[in-house]
Amino acid sequence: MQVTYYPGCSLEGTAIDYAASIGAVAGLLDLTLTELEDWNCCGATAAHSVSHQLSLALPARNLALAENAGRDVVVPCALCFNRLKAADKALKGPAGEQLGIAYQGDLKIWDLLDYLTQEPLLAALAQKVVRPLTGLRAVSYYGCLVARPPAVTDKPDCENPRNMERLLTVLGAEPLDWSFKTDCCGAGLALPRPDLIDTLVERLYERALQAGAECFVVSCQMCQANLDLPQERISKKFGKDYYLPVLYFTELMGLALGHPDVKKWLRGHLTDPRPLLERKGLI
């Protein structure tokens, strides 16, 4: 299998651990990720907040490049996925002509989790599990933008996605049900209004603990950073002692498939998942 891969800016920076685990897992699944040549930033929340023009023009260039490359595009970042999808829809309307970008609109854009949890891939994955994640109690946290709004993302199950739970079950972990899997963590406001993050994320910690979780599993690096980095600060502020590692689903795939680099990825986290995984006898 071969797809075009659009990593997005943060996978070259703060989320290099996510990028590394994605590359490793793709290798184990015989999936060739061919990075989109010369890709640019999607504009993220900033563009759609303050420049409608750039919020279309920036992703549109990527779409035109990807269409030329001729394969489905797979996107690991929720925000990039959302912006590429939004531009894909908009370019098929009057905005397309106005931007003057040559784009036919025949491109299939996937978010990475959806791509990797297609039924045949899950079945193949089940055969490759060498270290089942037995006893690992986790809540799936999808965040906002891979799911919403469905008119952009084409996901009818946006209020209650289940594919991460299906994946975790295949990996042998224990996915827990909770009502906050697509609630917003506010990542876009993390720098200008960290006080708001504290309120939003503390609520997620509490709900995850109520569900009996020992960790979060995420498919978005903004969610990962926003739940992982301020854990100490939020603990102090609320007089609690939170310890909830925030793992990428690809890290857990790598762990269950026995990839040798897992510990290297885990070192990138601020809330160190290694004590939890050691306690569970998984590393």
Applying CB under 8 A, which of residues 116, 136, 144, 247 lies at the interface with other proteins? Answer: 144
Q: Distance between CA 252 and CA 168 in Å, rounded?
A: 8
Interacting span for other proteins (CB under 8 A) from 52-60, 122-130, 171-179, 242-250: 52-60
What is the residue type of 152? V
Question: Alpha carbon of 94 to those of 44, 88, 98, 151, 249: distances in Å?
Answer: 22, 12, 7, 17, 38
Output 192 or 239, the one with its CB closest to other proteins: 192
Helix or strand holding residue 211 (H, E): none
Which CB sits closer to other proteins, 187 or 276?
A: 187
> Would you count residue 1 as binding other proteins (CB under 8 A)?
no
Binding-site member from 105, 132, 135, 149 for other proteins (CB under 8 A): 149
Span 15-44, contacts to other proteins by CB under 8 A: 15-17, 38-41, 43-44
Q: What is the 3-state secondary structure (H, E, C) of 85-120?
A: HHHHHHHCCHHHHHHCCCCCCCCCEEEHHHHHCCHH
| Residue range at the interface with other proteins (CB under 8 A); choices 28-36, 54-62, 114-122, 249-257 | 54-62
Which of 21-33 are b and which e, b meaning 16 or more Cβ less than 10 Å from the residue's Cβ?
A: bbbbbbeebebeb
Contacts for 217 with CB less than 8 Å, ≥ 6 apart:
138, 139, 140, 141, 164, 168, 175, 247, 248, 249, 252
Q: How far is the CB of 153 from other proteins (least distance, A)?
A: 9
> Which residue in 28, 29, 69, 200 binds other proteins (CB under 8 A)?
200
69 binds other proteins (CB under 8 A): no
Give the interface with other proteins as residue ranges (CB under 8 A). Answer: 9-10, 12-17, 38-41, 43-54, 57-58, 61, 144-145, 148-152, 158-159, 183-184, 186-189, 191-193, 196, 199-200, 229, 233, 267-268, 270
